[in-house]
Amino acid sequence: MKAGSGLAQGRLADPGLAAQAVHAAMTRAGLDHPQAVLLYLSADFARDPRPAIGAATRAAGCLQVAGCTAAGVFTEEDWVLDAPAAAALVLGEGAGLTPASPEQADPDRVTLTLAAPNALDMTWIAAGGRRFGGVSGDATGQGPYSVWRGGRVWDNGRCELSLTGGSLRVGVSQGVRPLSRPMPVEQVAGHDIRVMGGVDALASLARELPLSQRSPERIPTHLLMAGIPYGDRENAVAEGRFHLLPVIAANPADRSVTVAGLLAPGVDLFWALRQPGAAEHDMSAMVARLADERPQAPAFALMYPCMGRGPSFYGGVDKDIQALKRRFPGMPCIGFYGNGEIAHLDGANRLLQYSVVLALGDGHV
């Protein structure tokens, strides 16, 4: 298996940027005729990505060009959020990407899944075997974002691909700092948690915050999450075995906390905080776990972070990419910043937020 990445940016959304990215990727991979190309384009190309897709197809001499437009794109070389840009990954020498058939999904393999915001369908995400990938688009979930496969845009806004000639190991970094131990939820009303751990939900949350943030109007709900552990309860939080639901509101009138999900009484829940230091540590730990799964170094990486992570979260530096580069220096990587991440957790495909989904590609040995 051979793989290589390329990144090109400019002042205008010129289709030539896609060709430049593909040529750079082919040079780094040592490939004259790649078997597949992943192409991610910045939002500047969103209204009509077809000329850029055509340029990439001609540059590669290959029709298997798949990808999407997104708010920002990156490779291991750099990230681009504020300029027209194209990122490409080429695969060859036995490795490629082929359309996946959800009806014939192999439970032992994973499917790369890309979706435009207007194509999200939880029934579709739940079906089709184990998925990983991301949702293109911006923070609003709007815009003319599109998805392509086989060198052409797909009107249904969806792309499902399988890696041939290799395999993928997939991990998730949710990157939060737990504020409390898991406690049983005792009373709920719709999305409102009323009582947990023997006290009202608002009190259980406020007591974990600094004194200056404990009044309802000062609680930083935009940084808070509700965590629901799964599997063996012992060490579930430390091992990253939990789902996260964003905290929507703290309600002083009835002392409840509103979360972005429906919970049943009896489930365990802990409060958590989105924090750069915790996210950086969690990302490094996840990369280490994936690295330990196999003795050989991976050939490439596919990475799908929320736009709520990345350089805007880390103060101008993408420490998630840095964590990957520290463990695997020189390994080609491609990804985009999206507004939803797709991964298989707790026996089901799920749509995540504020997370990073990472897949490491290995050749057959």
- Please report which residue ranges of 30-114 form alpha helices under DSSP H: 50-60
Task: List the one residue out of 31, 11, 317, 336 whose CA is nearest residue 159.
Answer: 336
What global pTM score does this model have?
0.92
Same domain, 64 and 169: yes
Same domain, 30 and 140: yes
How much is the pLDDT for 107?
Answer: 63
Supply the mean pLDDT for the chain: 93
Same domain, 210 and 250: yes
Q: Where a domain ends, among 274, 304, 320?
A: 274
The mean pLDDT of 143-148, rounded to a whole number, is 85
Same domain, 82 and 121: yes
pLDDT tens track for 229-251? 998 888 888 888 899 999 999 99
The mean pLDDT of 63-89, rounded to a whole number, is 97
Same domain, 167 and 189: no
How much is the pLDDT for 106?
Answer: 64
Same domain, 269 and 308: no
* Domains in the chain, number: 2
Same domain, 155 and 294: yes
How sure is the predictor about 144, in pLDDT bands with cuts at 50, 70 and 90? confident
Tell me the CA distances in angstroms from 237 to 58, 174, 243, 272, 304, one per residue in order: 48, 11, 10, 10, 22
Cα distance between residue 361 and residue 327, in whole Å: 15
Q: Where a domain ends, among 242, 274, 306?
A: 274
Specify the pairing of strand 65-70 against strand 36-42.
parallel
The parent domain of residue 41 ranges over 2-173+279-363
